[in-house]
Structure 1
Amino acid sequence: MKNPLDTAALEAAVESVHRAGVPGLFAEVREGDLVWRGAAGVADLTTGRPVTAGMRHRVGSITKTFTAAAVLRQVEAGRIGLDAPVGRYLPALVPGARGDAITVRMLLNHTSGLAEYLPYAYPSLKAYPAIADTGPESMDDHRFTRFDPVELIAMGVSAPAFGSPGGTPGVYSNTNYLLLAQLLEHVTGASAERCITESVIERAGLRDTGFPSGPHVDGPHSRLYEAWFGMIDPPRDYSVFDMSWVGPSASLISTVSDLNDFYGLLSAGEIVGPSSLAEMRRTVPVVSQELRTIEYGLGLHPMEGPGQDAFWGHGGTVWGGGALAMTRADGGRRLAVAVNTQRWNRLDSSGVPRPHPIDEALAALYRVALYG
C-alpha cells in the first residue's frame, strides 16, 4: 500500500516556503496513525539557531476555536443560551437595544456588527484597513502595555457599527471574542483563561498549550519577525510581547502536534457534543481582516479541496508570527503549520499588497499537506 503521506514532497514544500522568504517554519501532517513532522530555516536570524517541529508558538486567532468550544460547553450545561441576547448576561458592556439584539451566536460567528477595537487601541493603525496610511509605531509603544479587556470592548462597542446585528456578510472582529471571554467569566465565576484551560485544553489532554502569564513564551520557541508590509525593514522581533491586547481572542501558545490533537478530538465530538459541533459548522459569509469574504461558523471556518473534501479549522496571526490548523471533517487528515514572520507583502502604488513568492509556496504546502 502506498504511504498516503508523501514525505519527500512535504519536506520539499516546507523548504520551498523557507527559500521564498520565511526565516523559519515547522509543520505536522497526519493521516490516520501516520505522522510527518518537518521544519526548515532558523528560529533566530542573529544566531542561526534552527527551528524544530516541537517548538511552542503564538497561534493567534486559532485561540477562537478553543474559546468557542468553551462557550458551547456552557451552552450544553444550560448556563448560556446560544440564541440568547448578550445583554441578558452583560448589560453594562452591550447596553440597551444592541444588547437585546446581539445574540451569543452572533458573537461567535462575527455577525454582531460590532467594530474591531484594534485601530482604537493602536493609534498608528487608525487608518486600517487602508494599510498604506497605517504605521507600525504602536507595536513598539504597546509592547509591554497591560490592556484592560473591558476598556478594549468599550472601544469596539462605541465605534461605528459595521452592520446591523445578524446581518450578513458579517465582519470579523476581536471585540466579539473578548465579549465571549467576559461571558465565560460571568457564568462560571472563573477567569476565561481558567475556564478554557479546564474545560477544553485539559479535557483534550494538551500538555504544551496554554495562555501566557507574561510577555514571554515559555519553552523552546522562535523569534517572531514582523515586516508590516515592508514598513519595518529589516523585520523586527516581537516574540516578547504582552498579549493582553487580544486575550482569550488570540493569545494562546501551542505546538503543531497539540493543534492536530485538538482539532482531531473536536472533529470526533470529544470536546463538544455532536449537536454543538454541527452548530460550529453552520457557516455564514464574513469579511475577514484581509477583506476577503469567507464562510465562518462558530469559531471554525471551512476549506474546500479537490473532490469537495471539507477541512475545518482556523488560522491565526500575531505580531511577527502566524499559524494554520486544518482537519478533514472525518478527522483523518490533519495539518498544523507555524511561520515566524508576518505581513511580508509590500504595497503597490495604490496601497494594495503585492503578490509575494511566500504566498504561492504556502499554498503549495497546504495542497500537498491536505490533499497529497
Structure 2
Amino acid sequence: MTAAGRPRARYLVLDAMRRLRHPVAPTLVAVLIAFAATVALFATTGQALASQQRTLERINSPTGRLIEITDPQGEAGLSARSVAAVERMSGVEWVFGIGPAVDVRAAGIDGGAAAPARRTYGSLPRPIAADGAGSLLPGQALAGPGLTDRLGLGDGVGAVTSRTLDAVIVDGFVAGSPLESLNGSVLVSTDPAVDDARLLTLWVSVADVSQLPAMTTALTGAVVASDVGALRVTTSDELALLSADISAELARSAQITIVGLVAAVAVLIGAVQFGRVAGMSRDIGRRRALGANRTAIMLTVLLTAALSAAVGALVGTVAGLVVTLVIAGALPPLGFTVAVGVLILLASVVGAVPPAIRASRLDPVAILRVP
C-alpha cells in the first residue's frame, strides 16, 4: 500500500496472479471461454475476411484497374500531350500511350521481313519488362519476343526504318497482363512535348479498382482531344461495384458475429467471476478487516479476469490463425488479429465489473461473524 492508502500496482498484479491459482477452476473456465470465443471469431469472421482479401486481390488485378481510352476512327484527335496531363492526376499508377502501327524494316539489311512498330508516349509501365533497358531516349526502341530475328537483326539490336519512322532497337521486352497485345510490336520511345502526335490508345492504371468510376469521369476532362465525345472508354466498372458489395456485406455479417460473441463473453465471464467472488468471500472479508479498501478488492477481481482472458485470447489467437489458414488458405490482416485479442480482453473486463463491485461491497463483519 502507498502512504495515501492506495494499493500499489505491483502488489495488485502479483495478488491477482496468485488468485489465478487459488482457486484454479474458475481460472480454467475463464481461459476456456476466452479461448473458445477467440477461435470462433477467427473461424467465422477471420476466415471470411481472409477469403475476402484473396477475392479483392483478384478483382484488384492489373486488368481490373485498367482504363483504356481509344480513338478507333481517328476522329477524336487524342493528343500525346494527354499522357503528361493524366500523369499529374492523383490516384494514377501509370499512363502509357501508343500511336498507330507502322511497318518497319531493318536498315541496310536485305532479306529481313517487316514488323509493326508503334510510337510510345510515357515511361515504360510495370507490365512491360525490358531485358536490361532502363528509361529510353526518344528514337530508341524495344522489340517484342522474336521480332529481331524476323527483322534480320541477328545481334538483337540495330536500326529500323520506314517512310515515316526511324529508330534504333536497343533491347527486347515482354509485356504481361494487361498489355500482352504489344508483344508483336516494336515500341519506339517518343517525346510528346516535341512530337504532338495523335494517339490511337491511352492506357491508364489506377491504384485501386474502387477508384475506377470516379477516375473514368475525371479522365474525360483531363485528356487533350479535339472531340472527347468520339473517344471510346473501356473499364471494368462491374469489378469496382463487386468490390464495394463484398466489403459492405462482410462488414454487416462481421458486426453481427462480433457483437454477439463479445456480449456472450462478457456475460459468461461475469458469471464465472461471481462464482469466484462467492468462493472467496471469507478471504475478501479477512482482507477488508486487515485494511484493504474497496478499490483494491475491485481491482484484484478485474485484474484476475483480465489475466485469464489474456491467456485464453493469446492461445486462441494462435489456434485461430492456424484454423483460418487451413480453411481459407490465407491469414486475416494484422489489424483484425490484434483487434480480436483486444475485444476479448475488454469484454472480459467489462463482464467482471458487476462481480468486482459486489466483492467490494461485502461486509467483513457479516462474513467473519462466528455463529
TM-score, structure 1 normalization: 0.16
Per residue, is there more helix in 1 or in 2?
2
The two structures have a TM-score, normalised by structure 2, of 0.16
